[in-house]
């Protein structure tokens, strides 16, 4: 069980009654991560992979140690973990790197964040690839038979979210991966909403690519990770090439490095990558299972409470069997932005409102063209905060509806 009071001391942002329920968008950053980044700037501020002097070698060692920590968090090998800015860049890298051609099929879902949706529409527009979109019901559940029918021998890649950033619904990744591989397809997972909140094992899931963002998992902005299965590293083209990616260059030829360096052109975000490594270490020390259990307790309180508030419509699963601590809802007669502003003004509660970068889901499945309110819990949130949120929401429902 988490010692939440102790954990909260690591987050200087939590002060003066602030209640932060927007970790789905971006999480708070603990002191150990901030200190580790400052250590780089104060003690070994130099470039990586290029200098032979001791400080540069130390920076390189810390950078590669960070890779090991992040890879270990998802049970990947260090050489399978590429440092990028965020999950969006990772998804784009794969979409551009697997050599899609006219007639290749891409299977994705209606639940996707735009970052894992419009990249495939662009492939359709530019290359003539075919995009198939698997739909879900209003609870966020998929019929695996729909995937089985959609994935064919022409399917080049299946690209799906692990957890909906709107509904908090879990996607059956292992089962979808099995279907994809049986048909000869690759599978990529947008794990931006799962890596920070639960134990992830890329080998157990059976995926080929998995992208995630550091800023959603107690790390800094500007650093994220992309898992590329070892056997696929040489077949995927890098998104950018240049300094740091080169083995040899002549007047009329160049040779690209192997491994993660192939994809990390130019000077990387060194402090941010080191900070991401420390964030992975921070989460590992607390224990992903402990974090999941804590969130589950808060999620149960929040779900039970939301269902009691007058006029509230909760979107997504109404049980926690296949759901995380992300809640999207509307209050009848009140605009989602008005609810968010009222929560902020009355109780210093921070939530997200709008489309959450998931317009197809909002328009086609939920029929909420004006968007919804989204509240999400993380390791630093408390039962008291959930109760404050529910009481404030009850008052807003009475006052504004």
CATH number of the domain where residue 352 is located: 3.90.1150.10
Average pLDDT, the chain: 96
The predicted-structure confidence for 64-81, as pLDDT tens digits, reads as follows 999 999 999 999 999 999
For residues 77-106, give the mean pLDDT.
97
Give, as one character, the DSSP assignment of residue 237.
Answer: P
Is residue 310 in some structural domain? yes
For the CA atoms of 114, 79, 158, 280, the dihedral, rounded to the nearest 10 degrees, stands at -50
pLDDT of residue 366: 96
Q: Tell me, what's the pLDDT at 287? A: 97
- For 358-369, what is each residue's pLDDT tens digit? 999 999 999 998
**Residues 355 and 390 occupy one common structural domain:** yes
- Is 4 within a domain? no
Instruction: Establish if 97 belongs to a structural domain.
Output: yes
- How far is the C-alpha of 247 from the C-alpha of 17, rounded, in Å? 54
Judge whether 137 lies within some domain: yes
Annotated catalytic residues are: 357
Among 285, 311, 344, residue at a domain's last position: 285
Same domain membership, residue 170 and residue 61: yes
Q: Per DSSP, which regions of 169-253 are E strands?
A: 186-190, 209-213, 224-228, 246-249
pLDDT higher for 187 or 2?
A: 187
Q: Would you give the distance in Å from CA 177 to the centre of its chain?
A: 18
Q: Is residue 104 domain-shared with residue 116, that is, in the same domain?
A: yes
pLDDT at 24: 98
Task: Tell me whether residue 20 is in a domain.
Answer: no
Please state, in angstroms and as integers, the Cα–Cα distance from residue 92 to each residue in 84, 123, 164, following that order: 11, 11, 19
Residue 233 in domain:
yes
Burial of 52 (0-12, 13-18, 19+ CB in 10 A): exposed
Number of domains in the chain: 2
Same domain, 384 and 237: no
Same domain assignment for residues 173 and 315: no
Residues 120 and 254 in one domain: yes
Is residue 85, in this structure, part of any structural domain at all?
A: yes
pLDDT recorded at residue 51: 84
Average confidence (pLDDT) over 327-349: 97
pLDDT per position as a tens digit, 125-167: 999 999 999 999 999 999 999 999 999 999 999 999 999 999 9
| Domain edge (last residue) among 228, 260, 285 | 285
CB 135 within 8 A of CB 164: no
Q: Are residues 236 and 203 in the same domain?
A: yes
Cα R_g (the chain), whole angstroms? 22
199 assigned to some structural domain: yes
DSSP class of residue 249 equals E
Whether residue 62 is found in the same domain as residue 96: yes
So what's the pLDDT on residue 193? Answer: 98
* Domain interval for residue 386: 287-400
Q: Are residues 198 and 315 in the same domain?
A: no
- Give this prediction's pTM: 0.97
| pLDDT given for residue 50 in this prediction | 81
User: What pLDDT score was predicted for residue 198?
Assistant: 98
Per-residue pLDDT band at 396 (split at 50, 70, 90): very high
Residue 247 and residue 380 in one domain: no
Query: For the chain, what percent of residues have pLDDT higher than 70?
Result: 100
Among candidate residues 266, 285, 304, the one where a domain is terminated:
285
pLDDT of residue 118: 98
| CB-based contact 202:74 (threshold 8 Å) | yes
- Contact by Cβ (8 Å): 24, 326: yes
Q: Are 22 and 350 in contact (CB under 8 A)?
A: yes
Residue 265 sits in the same domain as residue 355: no
CATH number of the domain to which 237 belongs: 3.40.640.10
pLDDT at 400 > cutoff 90:
no
Position 210 scores a pLDDT of 98
Residue 218 has pLDDT above 80, yes or no: yes
Beta strands in 88-151 (DSSP E): 105-109, 130-134
Residues 240 and 375 grouped into a single domain = no
Residues 259 and 333: their CA atoms lie apart, in Å, by 54
Reply yes or no on whether the pLDDT at 177 is more than 80.
yes
């Amino acid at each position: 069980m988490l010692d939440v009071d102790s954990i909260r001391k690591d987050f200087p942002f939590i002060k003066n009654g602030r209640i932060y329920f927007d970790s789905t968008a971006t999480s708070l950053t603990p002191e150990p991560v901030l200190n580790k980044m400052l250590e780089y700037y104060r003690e070994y501020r130099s470039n990586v992979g290029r200098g032979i002097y001791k400080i540069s070698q130390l920076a390189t060692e810390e950078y590669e140690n960070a890779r090991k920590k992040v890879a270990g968090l998802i049970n990947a090998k260090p050489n399978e973990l590429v440092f990028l800015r965020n999950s969006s860049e990772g998804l784009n890298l794969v979409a551009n790197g697997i050599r899609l051609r006219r007639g290749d099929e891409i299977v994705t879902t209606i639940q996707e964040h735009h970052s894992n949706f419009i990249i495939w529409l662009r492939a359709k527009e530019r290359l003539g690839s075919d995009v198939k979109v698997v739909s879900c019901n209003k609870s966020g559940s998929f019929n695996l038979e729909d995937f089985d029918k959609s994935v064919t021998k022409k399917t080049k890649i299946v690209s799906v979210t692990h957890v909906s950033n709107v509904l908090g619904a879990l996607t059956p990744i292992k089962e979808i991966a099995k279907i994809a591989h049986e048909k000869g397809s690759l599978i990529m997972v947008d794990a931006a909403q799962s890596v920070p909140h639960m134990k992830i094992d890329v080998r157990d899931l059976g995926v080929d690519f998995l992208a995630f963002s550091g800023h959603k998992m107690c790390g800094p902005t500007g650093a994220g990770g992309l898992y590329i299965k070892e056997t696929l590293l040489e077949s995927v083209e890098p998104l950018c090439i240049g300094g740091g990616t080169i083995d040899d260059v002549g007047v009329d030829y160049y040779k690209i490095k192997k491994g993660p360096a192939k994809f990390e052109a130019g000077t990387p975000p060194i402090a941010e990558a080191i900070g991401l490594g420390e964030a992975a270490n921070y989460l590992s020390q607390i224990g992903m299972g402990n974090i999941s259990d804590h969130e589950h307790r808060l999620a149960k309180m929040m779900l039970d409470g939301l269902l009691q508030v007058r006029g509230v419509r909760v979107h997504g699963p109404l049980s926690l069997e296949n759901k995380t601590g992300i809640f999207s809802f509307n209050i009848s007669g009140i605009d989602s932005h008005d609810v968010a502003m009222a929560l902020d003004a009355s109780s210093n509660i921070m939530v997200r409102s709008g489309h959450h970068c998931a317009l197809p889901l909002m328009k086609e499945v939920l029929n909420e063209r004006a968007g919804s309110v989204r509240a999400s819990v993380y390791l630093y949130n408390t039962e008291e905060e959930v109760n404050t949120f529910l009481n404030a929401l009850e008052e807003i429902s009475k006052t504004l509806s």
